[in-house]
Structure 1
Amino acid sequence: MHGAARIADGEVKEEAKSLLVKKPHVLGRDAILEQPFDGQPTKTARSWRPLCHASTNKRWHEYLEQVRAFRALYAAASAAFRAGKMSVAFPPWSFRPSTSVRQGLIAT
């Protein structure tokens, strides 16, 4: 190695060492290249999204009760629909499953 290349190589190694001191979980080039291209992380820093953003606890609990009531209505309608009652009414602002697929399954 020539003088300039040796200096640059030394600087890169020094920087890598300082990064390992600051962030010991740095993988490095080789470890990154060894990972599968389509792999997914086993653990992420993301948490569950909040149900809603409310100004008070009372409003949050009111919204929670409305969500639970909606889900209960939808679950009851969905169970009736799956049992074969095609004219069941689903709650407002929801969509019932497509009947074309269901009728095709009944015919077979």
Structure 2
Amino acid sequence: MNALNLVSNEQLAAIAKAIAHPARIQIIRLLLSKPSCIGGEITSEVGLAQSTVSEHLRILKAAEIVTGEIEHPRVCYSLNPEKLLPLLDLLQRVASSQVTNDEACCVSTNDKMVCK
């Protein structure tokens, strides 16, 4: 059984919603680029106010995409890539779908969708 079958539509939408912001994508990319967990430097790397970064981290932590461990005097953040597997499964299925332009009810032409 794949990861997509293990979550509901609501859970999958919550994962997608949690990463659906440019700053949160930037935080995920930053955490992905670091071999170990990072803390306070997220604010300087992202270039946003501490309170704004904290709010984005709160959302990512609530979705369990990012984990935070308290290592006094700071919090150390790292990615939890397993949480993204259901979204990855869905996107891979979409990308590998075998619908051709002849079979599709709508096709994209010159930046417009044309429905048959």
**TM-score tier after normalising by the smaller chain length:** under 0.3
Higher share of residues assigned strand: 2
After TM superposition, the score normalised by the length of structure 2 is 0.23
Q: Which has the higher contact order (CA 8 A, sep 6+)?
A: 2
Higher CA-based Rg: 1
